[in-house]
């Protein structure tokens, strides 16, 4: 069951009666229990912000991944403040990963002034609810960059899905998201390309890749020029599978 943002914000089994004291400065609000499916509502919220951000007439022109992600993070924060039911979230840039602090998450979604419980796990403003990795399509052309970097890099551990599969990002999470900035070609063309690369990875000596890592198309909106995909990946021993929601936007 997918919850509306407003219903999700009001929460399941709120640990205090309605009408109890409002949040005080410097004090976390009472705990709110949310179902695991709430993440679907969060993904829908982020998806809805993407075209408004891209088409904002006052948005400065930007093509680099770092600049685009900084812009998007600012817009997500502003949108959450003005969208009913989402003002209990914050969107943070370059947040250290909770398990491997040497690595930074492009965008980390966290509570803001609230304690949130999801499937028995507590999240405070210091903990990431959902890690989000951002990648350009195509990868910038350089001698030390792999064109397959949305998936995998032969030169480093900078591949988007590669980081999640290896547990470099989101090792303590069962869900994550990726945002693809499509800067040339179209969503369908890139979907075909990624399928081909995954098939090639399966046929090489690169360990841990199979056709099960392919992305499944959920929705492609030709008006907003956005798309949603989903993938599920095995990870290294000791880690459970991770589900990744992919949100692509044609820039």
pLDDT beyond 60 at 4: no
Query: What was the pLDDT predicted at 102?
Result: 76
122 or 11: which leads in pLDDT: 122
Please give the residue that has the higher pLDDT: either 217 or 7. 217
**How much is the pLDDT for 104?**
87
Instruction: Output the pLDDT for position 175.
Output: 97
pLDDT at 157: 85
Q: What is the mean pLDDT of residues 105-117?
A: 94
The pLDDT score that the predictor gives to residue 121 is: 92
Q: 76: which residues sit within 8 A by CB, 6+ positions away?
A: 46, 49, 53, 91, 107
The stretch 2-28 carries a mean pLDDT of: 40
Residues 191-220: what's their mean pLDDT? 95
pLDDT, residue 26, reads 47
Is the pLDDT at 61 greater than 50? The verdict is: yes
Contact 139, 131 (CB under 8 A): no
Question: What integer is the mean pLDDT of 202-209?
Answer: 88
- Kindly report the CA angle at 125 between 114 and 52, in degrees rounded to 5? 90
The answer to whether residue 176 scores a pLDDT higher than 50 is: yes
Here the tokens at position 49 are: 């912000």
Joined together, the tokens standing for residue 128 give 């990431």
pLDDT band at 33 (very low <50, low <70, confident <90, very high): confident
**Contacts of residue 152, Cβ cutoff 8 Å, sequence gap at least 6:** 146, 159, 161, 162, 197, 201, 206, 209
Which pLDDT belongs to residue 28? Answer: 56
- Confirm whether pTM is higher than 0.85: yes
């Amino acid at each position: 069951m997918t919850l509306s943002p407003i219903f999700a914000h009001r929460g399941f089994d709120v640990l205090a009666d309605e009408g109890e004291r409002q949040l005080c400065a410097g004090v976390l609000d009472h705990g709110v229990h949310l179902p695991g499916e709430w993440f679907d509502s969060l993904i829908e919220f982020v998806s809805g912000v993407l075209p408004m951000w891209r088409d904002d007439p006052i948005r400065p022109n930007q093509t680099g991944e770092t600049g685009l992600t900084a812009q998007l993070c600012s817009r997500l924060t502003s949108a959450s403040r003005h969208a009913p039911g989402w003002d209990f979230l914050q969107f943070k840039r370059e947040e250290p990963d909770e398990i491997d602090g040497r690595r930074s998450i492009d965008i980390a979604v966290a509570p803001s002034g609230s304690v949130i419980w999801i499937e028995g796990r507590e999240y405070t403003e210091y903990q990431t609810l959902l890690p989000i990795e951002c990648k350009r399509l195509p990868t910038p052309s350089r001698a030390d960059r792999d064109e397959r970097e949305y998936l995998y890099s032969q030169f480093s551990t900078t591949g988007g899905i590669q980081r999640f599969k290896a547990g470099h990002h989101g090792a303590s999470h069962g869900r994550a998201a990726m945002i693809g900035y499509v800067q040339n070609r179209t969503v369908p063309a890139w979907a075909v390309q990624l399928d081909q690369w995954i098939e090639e990875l399966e046929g090489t000596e690169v360990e841990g890749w199979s056709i099960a890592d392919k992305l499944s198309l959920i929705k492609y909106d030709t008006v907003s020029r956005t798309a949603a995909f989903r993938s599920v990946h095995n990870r290294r021993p000791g880690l459970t599978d991770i589900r990744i929601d992919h949100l692509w936007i044609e820039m």
